[in-house]
Structure 1
Amino acid sequence: MKSCCSASRDNFGDTKTLTEQQLYKKQIASKENMVYLDGGEFVMGTDEADGFPSDGEGPARKVAVSPFFIDKYAVTNEQFAKFITDTGYVTEAEQFGWSFVFYSFLTDKVRKANPQTAQQTPWWVAVKGAIWKYPEGPGSAIDDRMDHPVVHISWNDAKAYCEWSGKRLPTEAEWEYAARGGLDEKIFPWGNELIVDGKHQCNIWQGEFPTKNTKRDGYFGTCPADHYEQNGYGLYNMAGNVWEWCADWFDPSFHKNSLTNNPTGPATGQSKSIRGGSYLCHKSYCNRYRVAARSSNTPDSSTGNMGFRCVMDVE
């Protein structure tokens, strides 16, 4: 069951024709706040019982990736705002006129004005006017969240940002290699225990999903992109906080017969892969904050728990 993770526009069959946009201004690619990774061979995926075989998490297999640079943290509201200012880009949520917001973040007034919810997962509400700078819809703001990951970003939006910044989205193999932080076949970026010495290591749902979040990890929604401990490669929030778009088309079985050297996923598909889980993940329903876990969404979909980070090739 994936809908708790990130709702899709397919739920509403929205066929709006989106505007093609030309990015006239591009940044000179910068490695600031990026980490260089040597690459190499690692064990990707898992055969553990707590995995989701239907998602294609297994079998665990040896995969190799070439050296690359990766952002220390997910792209923030501050960074995305600069992109918008420089290019005038209009996100797909803005073009569609709505995006998915978790019901607990909405006022009674906003809920009444937005009665549509995702099928089978009524906690996802289609909110008119919900976009990256108004994450809970009209009346909300990001003034005190400029250092939080930007959300309500579609795969196409993330790709546009990457093109402007001279970077690209990571492949799933690159993402998982980076998330593991040099550890071999561990459940999380820091090891096998979710809580270490009584200290929370990531931003996920605490309590009973979807009705009660005790916020024992300190947050109800997103947290700053550089919060919690870094993994062994110096990367923040490779588990929880926000889902992160990857370059690959999603397929639960393609990898079983694909190349093991710099795999890139199938050539075509319906949905793009997302990794890392989010602040809404909970073991009782969606424990996809594990390193090997994966999910997907359509390239035009956006929600209040999906963001991205970038990578760069080594010249």
Structure 2
Amino acid sequence: MTEKLVGDRLEGRDTARTTGVSAPCHGQSTRQHAAADAEMDADMILVRGGLGLIGSDRFYAEERPVVEAEVGDVWWAPHPVTNAQFAVFVAETGYVTVAERDLDPGDFPGADPELLVAGSQVFTQPPGPVPLHDWTQWWRWQPGAQWRHPHGDEEQESRRWPGPQVEHWSQIADHPVVHVGWEDALAYALWAGQDLPTEAEWEHAARGGLVGASFAWGEELDPGGDVLANTWQGPFPWRSNDRRGHHRTSPVASYPPNGYGLFDMIGNVWEWTRTPWTPDHRDLVAPASPSLLPSSDGRRASSVGAATPVGLGAPPQQDRPVSGSCCGGHQRPVPGEARASVTEQDRMVTKGGSHLCSPHYCRRYRPAARQGQGVRDSTSHVGFRCVTRAG
């Protein structure tokens, strides 16, 4: 289905192999049954809303306090947006992602001009144990890394990890798209006539109907020895012992769905939400629709959609949590002045953890886990999925 769709729409451009996933921001679920409060149509899964608990007081400070939040009914894509789906979007719109744009020297006064090039952050598996307090031991800024070439420089990467080399997105067409910033994810969602979920919507759906459980499937990470999500297996970050060969991202729906039939809500890739980052849950709020998206050249206009203004309200740098995370930090130069809409300094909440989350270091493979991600800090382990609100 995807092979025909991508082939028809790209018209001679990059084509994908058969992936078993469907059209933009949709997917075919292979689950055998639906929970009582979730329904399916041909492409999306309806998760019924209600009043529920958000957060946890058992893990990291930014997940506290546990609060009650009410969400509405939401139709969910069963899995994150794939490379094949994102390729259709780019082919139809000509969209250029954040990672593909050279940085404007005017926004980064005093920065080394050699650093002001298109690129993204790529996980770099070290050859042996490294100090876990220094995330730069396993992350690198890689010029040229972007969604089409998720591993960046193949020759350099080939010395750093045991898996097959990925020279082009079409080799992993059914994997989640990565190296996408928040604006990129939102642009896709608007093009598809959909949206990004709020933090509360995301956590409600990720729990799959379980109330207060640590994991999306219960209280044990690997019940009975079963690995239920793509998370780091082995000593982090220098050795991956994944028995299925998922040393980085994996094809969507490779692991069992949660109670609502949603795949990859935990692990594989972090997922963008449309909720501004706050250091805890005391002020848990969902923003209004975002302001006009910047176009592919960064100006305050968009060819793929528009919405109403929003104040992002990111906290000062000193207020952000500093607990250990596989997610690294900000490797782009600090801008000299803010842009319209969102700026280099703004953060949004990401949810779900990724294939880099490990019990040895970062236990964020849980519905309550949350991370503040710079809106233009694209990485090799952050993606997104789309939703449509019922009614």
The alignment yields a C-alpha RMSD, in angstroms, of 2.2
Aligned in 2, Cα 1:304/1:210: closer, same or farther, shift over 3 Å?
same
Residue aligned with 1:104, SS: coil
SS in 2 for 1:247: strand
The residue type paired with residue 45 of structure 1 is: G
Superposed CA deviations along residues 154-188 of structure 1, whole A, max 9, x for unmatched, are 00100100110001110000000000000111111
Question: Which protein has the bigger strand share?
Answer: 1
Corresponding residue for residue 65 of structure 2:
59
User: Which has the larger displacement, 214-223 or 155-164?
Assistant: 214-223
Measure the CA separation in 1 of the matches of 2:169 and 2:52: 38
Please point out which of 269, 287, 290 is paired with 2:363. Answer: 287
Instruction: Please give the per-residue CA displacement for 1:230-285, whole angstroms capped at 9, x wherever unaligned.
Output: 000000011110000000110013x32556xxx44974222111000011111221
Which residue among 202, 209, 220 is the counterpart of 2:236?
209
Aligned-residue identity in percent = 41
Q: Return the alpha-carbon distance in structure 1 between the equivalents of residues 60 and 357 of structure 2.
A: 14
Secondary structure, counterpart of 1:156 in structure 2: helix
Does structure 1 residue 103 correspond to structure 2 residue 109?
no
* Distance in structure 1 (CA, Å) of the matches to 2:89 and 2:150: 17
Residue 75 of structure 2, aligned match among 26, 48, 69: 69
The equivalent residue for 2:88 is: 82
Equivalents in 2 of 1:152, 1:75: separation in Å? 12
Shift of 1:38: 1.3
SS of 2:357's equivalent in the other structure is coil
2:377 matched residue in structure 1: 301
Match of 2:54 among 30, 44, 68: 44
Structure with bigger gyration radius:
2
CA distance in 1, matches of 2:249, 2:24: 29
**Structure 2 residue aligned with 1:22:** none
2:179 pairs with one of 152, 173, 177? 152
**How far did residue 75 of structure 1 move?**
0.3
Letter aligned with residue 74 of structure 1: P
Aligned partners of 1:280 and 1:217: how far apart in 2? 15
Gap change, CA 1:257 and 1:156, over 3 Å in 2: closer
Distance 2:371 2:240 in 1: 23
Q: Which amino acid aligns with 1:292?
A: A
Divergent runs of 4+, >4 A: 27-32, 263-267
Change (3 A) 1:29 1:122: closer
Q: Distance in 2 between matches of 1:186 and 1:243?
A: 20
TM-score of the pair, normalised by structure 2: 0.65
Matched, 1:191 2:215: no
1:29/1:286 CA distance change after superposition, 3 Å: closer
User: Could you tell me whether the CA contact under 8 Å between 1:173 and 1:264 is conserved in 2?
Assistant: no
Residue 43 (structure 2) aligned to one of 26, 33, 50: 33
Deviation at 1:144, TM superposition (A): 2.6
Could you tell me which residue of structure 1 aligns to residue 247 of structure 2? Answer: 220
State the distance in 2 between where 1:138 and 1:248 align.
33
Report what 2:260 is aligned to. 233
Once the two structures are superposed, residues 98-131 of structure 1 have per-residue CA deviations (whole angstroms, 9 ceiling, x without a partner) of 111111399xxxxxxxxxxxx7522111111111
Deviations 1:124-160 (CA, angstroms, capped at 9, x unpaired): 1111111101011245222231111000010010010
Give the Cα separation in 2 of the matches to 1:267 and 1:127. 28
Displacement after TM superposition at 1:301 (Å): 1.1
Structure 1 stretch displaced more, 191-200 or 83-92: 191-200
CA–CA distance in structure 2, aligned partners of residues 99 and 28 of structure 1 = 24
- Residue 17 of structure 2 corresponds to which residue in structure 1? none
Aligned to 1:93: 99
Q: What SS class does the counterpart of residue 36 from structure 1 fall into?
A: strand
Is residue 313 of structure 2 the alignment partner of residue 268 of structure 1? Answer: yes
C-alpha contact (below 8 Å) 2:25/2:385 kept by paired residues: no
Structure 1, 138-147 or 225-234: larger mean CA deviation: 138-147
Alignment-mate amino acid for residue 147 of structure 2: W
Structure 1 stretches of 5 or more lacking a match?
1-26, 107-118
CA contact (8 A) 1:203 1:217 kept: no
Q: 1:282 to 1:88 in 2, by over 3 A?
A: same
The structure whose RCO (Cα within 8 Å, separation 6+) is larger is 1
Q: Is the 8 A contact 1:155 1:245 kept in 2?
A: yes
Matching of residues 133-152 of structure 1 within 5 Å: 133-139=148-154, 140-152=167-179
- Give the conservation status (yes or no) of the 8 Å contact 1:179–1:231: yes
